[in-house]
Amino acid sequence: MSDRTPVIAANWKMNKTVPEAIEFCDELLPRIEDAACEVIICPPFLALPAVVEATGGGPVQVAAQNMHFEQSGAFTGEVSPAMLLDAGATAVVLGHSERRQLFGESDEALSRKVPAALEAGLVPILCVGETEDERERDETDRILRRQIDAGLSRVPLERLADVVVAYEPVWAIGTGRTATPEQAEDACGFVRSLISARDEASGAAVRIQYGGSVKPGNAAELLGREEIDGALVGGASLDAGDFAAIVAAAG
């Protein structure tokens, strides 16, 4: 076991109204009182303040699912770091594969978003991962290197360990096809080696999550791996009982 504190995050994507979000929190909180890991809920923007209030004072942190890198300005439809802080968020998911694939999120934008989050005092959860084609062509390492190089390119060395990285193979997201613990560990270890190459201590300290069809039934095996420091959970995070079971699997 490493001495890194695992971090388990619920990525709700475009799910849950405000009343549904509050109901989830009320169901979840009594079930995770003994959690030995960090727990983050990532609701849609509109439910951020309600989830902050419903979890208020407790150990659960609240994260947004995206953010612009500027503080304000003529960017219709966007939300700034300052607005997320004002809503009570302490973290933000950046570069999720759905944003990369469906909404044109670019490595260049992420190279600005990650340091902007850190400067604002938000923990960036930088998502990286290869598609099925890329894995079949044996390009996983090349893709991860490109995404990590870009996402962390403007992060000062002394802040590297404050980033959380989520390794999420695109072929495992929402498909029920989880990466094997070996595949997940290899990729997380490779990401760590990229960060260690910049700064040894940061590589040892940075938390690297696995994401992609994490469920109560497979969480313990994945989270038991030395290189895997938590999970970014989509589908199974919509049910408070399932999510609590995954939190419990983190030890």
- Residues in the site for ligand PGA, rule: CB under 6 A? 11, 168, 173-174, 211-214, 232-236
CA distances from 115 to 57, 65, 76, 153, 195 (A): 27, 16, 22, 9, 15
Q: What are phi and psi of 31, to 5 degrees?
A: -90, -10
Alpha carbons 229 and 247: distance in angstroms, whole number: 12
Residues in the chain, overall count: 251
Q: What are phi and psi of 64, to 5 degrees?
A: -85, 170
Considering beta carbons, is residue 187 or 203 the nearer one to ligand PGA?
187
Min dist. Cβ of residue 232 to ligand PGA (A): 4
Q: Is 68 a catalytic residue?
A: no
Min dist. Cβ of residue 129 to ligand PGA (A): 9
Considering beta carbons, is residue 203 or 216 the nearer one to ligand PGA?
216
Q: Is 20 a catalytic residue?
A: no
Min dist. Cβ of residue 201 to ligand PGA (A): 28
Q: What's the CA angle centered on 100, arms 8 and 20, to 5 degrees? A: 45
Give me the residue whose beta carbon is nearest to ligand PGA.
Answer: 234
3-class secondary-structure state, position 127: strand
Q: What's the CA angle centered on 84, arms 78 and 87, to 5 degrees? A: 125
Q: Which of 105, 134, 168, 185 is catalytic?
A: 168
Considering beta carbons, is residue 54 or 179 the nearer one to ligand PGA?
179
3-class secondary-structure state, position 165: strand
3-class secondary-structure state, position 208: strand
How far apart, in Å, do the first and last CA atoms of the chain sit?
10
Considering beta carbons, is residue 14 or 74 the nearer one to ligand PGA?
14
Q: Tokens at residue 96, please?
A: 């999720």
Q: Which of 96, 130, 185, 227 is catalytic?
A: 96
The two beta strands, 61-64 and 230-233, are unpaired
Considering beta carbons, is residue 111 or 213 the nearer one to ligand PGA?
213
Considering beta carbons, is residue 152 or 172 the nearer one to ligand PGA?
172
Min dist. Cβ of residue 249 to ligand PGA (A): 14
Q: Tokens at residue 245, please?
A: 């079971």
3-class secondary-structure state, position 74: coil
* Catalytic residue IDs: 96, 168
